[in-house]
Amino acid sequence: MADGNITKDVMYDAVAPDDFESMLELDRYNARSTAFDKIISATHDHFWDPLDPKYIDFSEPWDMETQALLPDDQVMALGVPYVLDHLEKTGQKVKFINEMVLWNFSSILHGEQGALNLSASLCHVLKDQGAQEYAANQTREEARHVTAFAKYVKARWGRPRPCGATLQQLLVDIIGAPEVYKKIIGM
């Protein structure tokens, strides 16, 4: 169904976040969309466990004082000769790179937490069971991402850096938004 501006599919039908009564409508149970079934099943084929060292071994040693986590050419600031020169002369290059990586990984960690809460919030508003199962499944996947990034940050630095104000406001807005399109685009 199209209204001239947007295409609307019944699987994106949504209710208000506090309207649980609508979930109990009897006709809803027999009207489950199968649009997401392949993606949901694929989770089992691509399963991974951040708590199992066979997937990621967080105990692998790394000397944060002497080993840079990224090569120079992947750190944009080091493309400025003055910066590179100064850091090499003062022996601070490794420290600088690893601190930049901490800020990046902290942002990713906060973003993964946002994705977890956003996916969970989609479960409350999506009306179609298939879409809801997809969101629940995605919530589980994002929870694994949070676990993995939190464990990595803990292993290398001990503690993440705070979420930037702009990212934080975006996450707060889309997680709290009652409109399903804002959540989906946000995700």
Residue 112 engages Fe ion in binding (rule: CB under 5 A) = yes
**Nearer Cβ to Fe ion (112/133):** 112
Which of 95, 124, 145, 156 is the binder for Fe ion (CB under 5 A)? 145
**Nearer Cβ to Fe ion (128/142):** 142
- The backbone torsions φ and ψ at residue 52, rounded to the nearest 5 degrees and listed phi first, read -100, 115
Number of residues that bind Fe ion (CB under 5 A): 4
Closest residue by beta carbon to Fe ion:
145
Per-residue buried b or exposed e for 70-90, using 16+ beta carbons within 10 Å of the residue's own CB:
eeeeebeebeeeeebeebeee
On whether the CB atoms of residues 116 and 143 are closer than 8 A, the answer is: yes
Residue 109 engages Fe ion in binding (rule: CB under 5 A) = no
**Nearer Cβ to Fe ion (33/117):** 117
Which of 14, 75, 97, 115 is the binder for Fe ion (CB under 5 A)? 115
Site residues, Fe ion (CB under 5 A): 112, 115, 142, 145
